[in-house]
Amino acid sequence: MKITACLIVKDEAECIRQCLDSLKKVVQQIVVVDTGSTDDTVKIAKRYGAEVYFHEWAEDFSAARNLAIDKAKGDWIIFLDADEYFPEKTVQQVPKLIKKYSADCDAFLTEIANVDENQENKVLDKFYAIRIFHKDPCIRFSGKIHEQLKHSADRQIRLYRVDPQMIQLIHTGYSRERLRQKCERNLRMLLLQLLKNPQDTSLYRYLADAYYGLEDYEQALKYACLDIATGHKEITYATRSYRVWLDILHTKKADFATIEAALQKSIAEFPDLPDFYAEYGLLFLNAKRYDEALPWFLKSLELNESYHGVETSVFKEHILDIYSFLGLIYEKKQDIEKGLAIYQKILQQDRYIVSVFAAFYRIVSQQGDTAHCIAALQEIYDQTHPEDVDFLIANISRIQTDPLAYYVRLRG
């Protein structure tokens, strides 16, 4: 079995090394189609042994991608953007995955995490997309922008969804400057497509996304609502227009009833997704309606335990926040035992969250004397670790209570 890596590029010198580094150990051929680079992209690609082909850009991503497919000699293709890469721990699983499931599928849906390099690779969101597929003359890209793989034999492409624990891709193209450039490019192409075919409603969600990235919220809201009005779609990231809609409502400081109605519609459309339930809980929490917030947060945690869908969920990236909200609610409801248990659960996963430590310590310090406080802290913090002791001193000192002297002596 031979695997070919394919890329289409233009001025990607800053990121293409990371992409090709992640691929070089698992592919036998690298095909790069350049659409007009003026930097060192081509030189870098050739250093990795890539076969480089030149394609005159004609506002058509599928044409460039299909040229790369034509040049591929592998049985399977990994087709990445230059700002995507496999973490080292997962890329070695790719050949195993293909070998195990290739007889039963044409392509693999893999999870892609969008990260912001300017914020220490903070995960912005995740989605599923096809990046690994069988080399088959019937499988080609279609669409000038936001192109998708299609099977020419009038059938659906057989997909296998890969467990993110096995394989995940990282997408780094979301720094503020790069994002704006992409949105400007995409908007130009999308408006041209819409002009040629005003009945193409599939463009609405992409237009909403492009306008949202450019902070033109009026147009983003217009196209998000138009997309939602077309009904349910069996696509990955079908929630995008709903998320744009809700984010804009929050940005515009819409009233409670307006946001609640949007959340109710979102939940009705995606009843198994935990994200919108958590957001509904937060809506009630911000309104200090704690009794009403609680069941929504609990429901979101329950759904998260069983959710394995392909629709984008960023719930896991915010689960500690959800627990923090629960702890606050239990405090407000005077259920101190549950609040303490929640805060302890969070700190056992990340013991250096200052706000959670303050809430935890506030409860602990009210329940007993200095010895009791120290005993509670020792269930989480190791007094033989300088980092733990320094953290406790720095944060207890803000509260100025008795255990401070104990930990100062430890640091001694």
Q: Which of 165-179, 181-195, 390-404 has the lowest mean pLDDT?
A: 390-404
Residue 401 has pLDDT above 70, yes or no: no
How far apart CA 26 and CA 3 sit, in angstroms, is: 7
- Burial (CB count <10 Å: 0-12, 13-18, 19+), residue 234: exposed
- Confidence tier at 409 by pLDDT (50, 70, 90): low
For residue 411, the model assigns a pLDDT of: 64
Supply the mean pLDDT for the chain: 92
175-254 fold: 1.25.40
Residue 313 phi, psi (nearest 5): -135, 130
Neighbours of 70 (CB within 10 A): 12
How many residues would you count in the chain? 412
**155 DSSP assignment:** S
**DSSP output for 165-200:** TT-EEEE-TTSHHHHHHHHHHHHHHHHHHHHH-TT-
pLDDT in tens, 274-287: 999 999 999 999 99
User: What is the average pLDDT across 133-154?
Assistant: 92
pLDDT in tens, 1-17: 999 999 999 999 999 99
How far apart CA 179 and CA 44 sit, in angstroms, is: 23
Question: Is 9 within 8 Å of 33 (Cβ atoms)?
Answer: yes
Question: Is 186 within 8 Å of 193 (Cβ atoms)?
Answer: no
Q: How far is CA 45 from CA 16, 19, 125, 132, 384, in A?
A: 8, 10, 29, 20, 50
Task: Take residue 242 and report the two structure tokens written for it.
Answer: 């709903």
Whole-prediction pTM: 0.83
- Confidence tier at 167 by pLDDT (50, 70, 90): very high
Residue 406 has pLDDT above 70, yes or no: no
- Confidence tier at 187 by pLDDT (50, 70, 90): very high
CATH numeric code, 3-174: 3.90.550.10
**DSSP output for 373-385:** HHHHHHTT--TT-
For residue 126, the model assigns a pLDDT of: 87
Question: Is 140 within 8 Å of 150 (Cβ atoms)?
Answer: yes
Q: Which of 5, 141, 124 lies closest to 74, judged by CA? A: 5
Residue 50 has pLDDT above 70, yes or no: yes
Helix (H, G, I), strand (E, B), or coil: what is residue 323? Answer: helix
**70 DSSP assignment:** H
How far apart CA 407 and CA 389 sit, in angstroms, is: 6
**What residue spans define the domains of the chain?**
3-174, 175-254, 352-411
pLDDT in tens, 206-231: 999 999 999 999 999 999 999 999 99
Residue 282 CA to its chain's centroid (Å): 20
Could you tell me what percent of the chain has a pLDDT over 70? 96
Question: Is 316 within 8 Å of 164 (Cβ atoms)?
Answer: no
